[in-house]
């Protein structure tokens, strides 16, 4: 089969041919219809999520959508023809965190699809059956690639990490990115008034089309330049420490700052006095549960959330698309069709 792979961590993604994988016990073989292209792919390729040379070569691409061709021995919940996507984290499913719906905190965490097992930049992919999550029929394959991360992650933020309530004021930092623009929609779905913050005017215009009430160009304006005088929730996809400290200053009583970036070495000043006086919370948000992924798929199928996948390429177009995503030049998500 044709695929894209990396032969060394930090190296180039290149086209290759390899054998179609055979599903082992508790695996499924999926015929790939489309796979998402986002910033996390660059982190995987760079070796930021796995740098073990024994795991090479590796096929990246964790946001795959396709149909089950064959289920291995022991797989009872999936059959040939089922439409599935991939759950990113390799988890056990039976520890206390998995059983409580906190799958990314699994005590037996074994890595990530596309970093520790092959992903979806290929014509076929072998997945652990527990990572193959059914999605509704009738969805466009390219649009559906946004569900397992770019939409499911904002659902976790709104539902669990921030507990957004109707009427609250929410600011999204990095609102024009692949996850951010779906966070704008998700916050609106939960009933919030949304301020979109970005540095690209075209992306801010798109955020308004997708539900933002106010927009702030952080390259030219202060965070409080538009919108309410204070926010109930600020969701950060940027990791800029100056912007984060400004966000804390704009949080109202019982305000919540939700962080989703993991840049090493970055810290911010935070006064315990400030957090106590206003009962502020600073929360980390890590991906989503399998239940939340399924819920994200239902929201798309119902038309409540619109996937924003602005560019679609074949195998040969992925390296350039990935580079432009890292350079902040792509609205929302990209995707690859194996053709």
* The predicted structure's pLDDT at residue 160: 97
Which helix (DSSP H) or strand (DSSP E) does residue 311 occupy? Answer: strand 309-313
Over 90: is that where the pLDDT of 157 sits? yes
Q: Class of the 153-284 domain?
A: alpha beta
* The predicted structure's pLDDT at residue 128: 97
Identify the CATH assignment for 2-146+307-336 out of 3.90.1150.10, 3.50.50.60, 1.10.3720.10, 3.90.180.10.
3.90.180.10
> For residues 339 and 324, what is the distance between their CA atoms, to the nearest angstrom?
21
Whether pTM exceeds 0.85: yes
Closest CA to 36 of 69, 63, 2, 9: 63
> For residues 151 and 205, what is the distance between their CA atoms, to the nearest angstrom?
20
Query: Mean of the pLDDT values across residues 313-319?
Result: 98
Task: Give per-residue pLDDT as tens, 131-146.
Answer: 999 999 999 999 999 9
Task: Give per-residue pLDDT as tens, 211-267.
Answer: 999 999 999 999 988 889 999 999 999 999 999 999 999 999 999 999 999 988 899
Nearby residues of 280 by Cβ (< 8 Å), 6 or more positions away: 248, 251, 254, 255, 256, 257, 274
- What ranges do the domains of the chain cover? 2-146+307-336, 153-284
DSSP state of 325: H
The rounded mean pLDDT for the chain is 96
Spatial contact of 145 and 34, defined as CB atoms under 8 Å apart: yes
* The predicted structure's pLDDT at residue 227: 82
């Amino acid at each position: 089969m044709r695929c894209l792979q990396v032969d060394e961590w930090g190296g180039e993604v290149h086209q290759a041919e390899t054998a179609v994988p055979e599903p082992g016990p508790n695996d499924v073989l999926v015929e790939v219809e489309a796979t998402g292209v986002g910033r996390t792919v660059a982190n995987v390729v760079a070796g930021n999520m796995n740098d073990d040379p024994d795991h090479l070569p590796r096929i990246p691409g964790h946001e795959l959508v396709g149909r089950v061709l064959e289920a291995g021995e022991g797989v009872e919940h999936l059959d040939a023809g089922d439409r599935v996507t991939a759950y990113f984290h390799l988890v056990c499913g039976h520890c206390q965190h998995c059983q409580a719906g906190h799958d990314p905190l699994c005590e037996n965490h074994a890595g990530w699809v596309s970093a520790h097992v092959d992903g979806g930049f290929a014509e076929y992919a072998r997945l652990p059956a527990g990572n193959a999550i059914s999605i509704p029929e009738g969805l466009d394959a390219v649009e559906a690639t946004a569900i397992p991360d770019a939409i499911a992650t904002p659902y976790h933020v709104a539902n669990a990490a921030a507990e957004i309530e109707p009427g609250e004021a929410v600011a999204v930092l990095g609102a024009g990115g692949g996850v951010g623009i779906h966070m704008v929609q998700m916050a609106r779905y939960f009933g919030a008034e949304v301020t979109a913050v970005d540095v690209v005017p075209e992306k801010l215009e798109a955020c308004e089309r997708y539900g933002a009430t106010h927009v702030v160009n952080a390259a030219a304006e202060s965070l409080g330049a538009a919108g309410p005088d204070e926010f109930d929730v600020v969701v950060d996809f940027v990791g800029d420490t100056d912007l984060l400290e400004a966000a804390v200053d704009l949080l109202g009583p019982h305000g919540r700052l939700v962080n989703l970036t993991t840049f090493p070495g970055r810290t911010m000043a935070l006064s315990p006095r400030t957090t106590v006086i206003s009962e502020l919370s600073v929360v980390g948000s890590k991906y989503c549960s399998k239940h939340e992924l399924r819920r994200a798929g239902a929201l798309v199928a119902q038309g409540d959330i619109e996937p924003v996948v602005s560019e679609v390429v074949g195998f040969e177009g992925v390296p350039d698309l990935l580079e432009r995503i890292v350079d902040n030049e792509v609205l929302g998500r990209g995707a690859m069709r194996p053709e």
